[in-house]
Structure 1
Amino acid sequence: MGAEVAHREGEPLVPDTPTNAGERRAEIRRLAKKLRVIERLSAYGETVRVLEDQVTRKDERHFLLDLDVEKGMLAVRTYSNSAAAEEFYSALEGEAGTERDIVLVAVGSMAALRRAYPNYFLDTSVFLDIVRDV
């Protein structure tokens, strides 16, 4: 994708990537399908909306995010006890397949979460538009 974006912006391509546009785009299509990029990034956008709307008690500082890409569902559990959060996280990680992304984060507030994990809050719409175009 880096080479595709560079090509569109008239910049030098990323080293060791296909220089032929057809070959490059075929590789992007193959990988995007295999990795379910569109579904995952769309679901991550939903993660941000859910977290921003999440109402928690002040002592609930541990967020366990369980994203099921296949079903397009996100479950958010909050914990005040780090040991309980880590135990449940370990159990979920053990049973999760390739279509689930499990993340455990601990923060004092949504503002802190935004500072600690800025990539979760980036707008991926432009990137997704390019993937869809390819």
Structure 2
Amino acid sequence: MNRNCLHHWPIGSAALPLALGAVIGLGACVNDSGDLATSASTAGTTAYLIHEDREDDDFARARDFADKRFVALRRDVAAGEGEHLDAFANLMGEADTEAFGRWLQGNYASLYGPAAAEGDLVNRVVALRETR
């Protein structure tokens, strides 16, 4: 602000900094109390969403992996073992990759055959695992 313009203000030049400080301070107090309530609410929502996104993200990576390595993964599923099947099992959250490989191999026709349900491999695996 130009000092030459201070004489146009209805308050004296010494009172201007005090008035501005009060307005800024009052605004900060109002924003702080509102921000604290908003921050607490946002933090709770964010924690919930991060947990949900983490699960969705795991399946998204599994879907991406299955799409990009379709042929190699299908070959490993047919054999019931292999590095692509191990990686897929990890992305699906399966701790026992050998048991998961045997299960995939035993359900090969349902997962890859002509009777395979619509949708991606991850959805077919999840649907079949829920029915067992």
TM-score > 0.5, shorter chain as reference: no
Greater share of strand residues, 1 or 2?
1
Flag the structure with more relative contact order, 1 or 2, with Cα contacts below 8 A and sequence separation at least 6: 1
Greater share of helix residues, 1 or 2?
2
